[in-house]
Amino acid sequence: MSEQITFTMDGVQIKGKAGQTILEAADEAGVYIPRLCYHPDLAPHGSCRVCTVLVNGKPQAACTQPITEGMIVENETPELKEHRRNLIDMLFIEGNHFCMFCEKSGNCELQAIAYRLGILSPKYPYLFPKKDVDSSHKDIFLDLNRCILCGRCVEASRDVDGKGVFEFVGRSIEKKLAVNAEANLKDTNAAVTDKAADVCPVGTINKKGTAFAIPIGQRLYDTKPIGSEIENHKK
């Protein structure tokens, strides 16, 4: 039996197991911590920082920080909400997110977190970058306008599919998702059955022919806010 660890989050005692991260223990206890790059089937890599919490007063990524006995965690503070809003705002202005025309609307984690945080429009000016669209593959459609560089597809393709179809190239504002081919996605061994085709939180990697199978208004986050699936199983 694994060792039990008790810690406090926003003044409430939570019991977790040794080896769990703060995010995993919070999920099990029915407490939602916003996250974007984290996916339960992939190893956490702590890149988006949306899950930042305060641990004994210091900022830490909840998806990578292990729980320890007696630690004091803060999750729902005005400052952390502002930090998360800033990150989400920047993701919106650094890409081209036309939610009203996007086939992922209602199933998009970026959009859903923005709604949850009460963002109606970003406070920074839009950059309107020029981004590529790659529809060359017979089953998968790639739209880099919507990529938030979370790294899930890179990790899934490398570690789960064993293919390495996706990688990041460039740095800073020039950083972008690339495919492992001279030209485009059709020249890779990407397949629609790959884990990488399933883990995109936004509308960058799409399976052709599935876009409007579920009508707008009936999609995952159209009916309940993101995080409620965790909060609803609160013990």
Q: What are phi and psi of 172, to 5 degrees?
A: 50, -130
31 contacts: CB under 8 Å, gap ≥ 6: 9, 10, 12, 14, 75, 230, 231, 234
143 contacts: CB under 8 Å, gap ≥ 6: 131, 133, 134, 203, 204, 206
Asked if 164 interacts with ligand FES (CB under 6 A), we say no
Closest CA relative to residue 107, chosen from 234, 233, 204? 204
In whole angstroms, how close is the CB of 73 to ligand FES at the nearest point? 14
Which of 32, 38, 141, 221 forms a contact with ligand FES (CB under 6 A)?
A: 38
Asked if 25 interacts with ligand FES (CB under 6 A), we say no
Asked if 156 interacts with ligand FES (CB under 6 A), we say no
Which of 5, 9, 22, 61 forms a contact with ligand FES (CB under 6 A)?
A: 61
Asked if 190 interacts with ligand FES (CB under 6 A), we say no
Helix then strand then coil, in percent of the chain rounded to 5, is: 30, 20, 55
Is the Cβ of residue 52 or residue 188 nearer to ligand FES in the bound state? 52
In whole angstroms, how close is the CB of 192 to ligand FES at the nearest point? 26
Residue type, 1: M
User: In the stretch 40-59, what mask flags binding to ligand FES with x, by CB under 6 A?
Assistant: ------xxxxxx--------
The count of other CB atoms within 10 Å of the CB of residue 68 is 13
In whole angstroms, how close is the CB of 160 to ligand FES at the nearest point? 18
Interface residues with ligand FES (CB under 6 A) are 35-38, 46-51, 61, 63
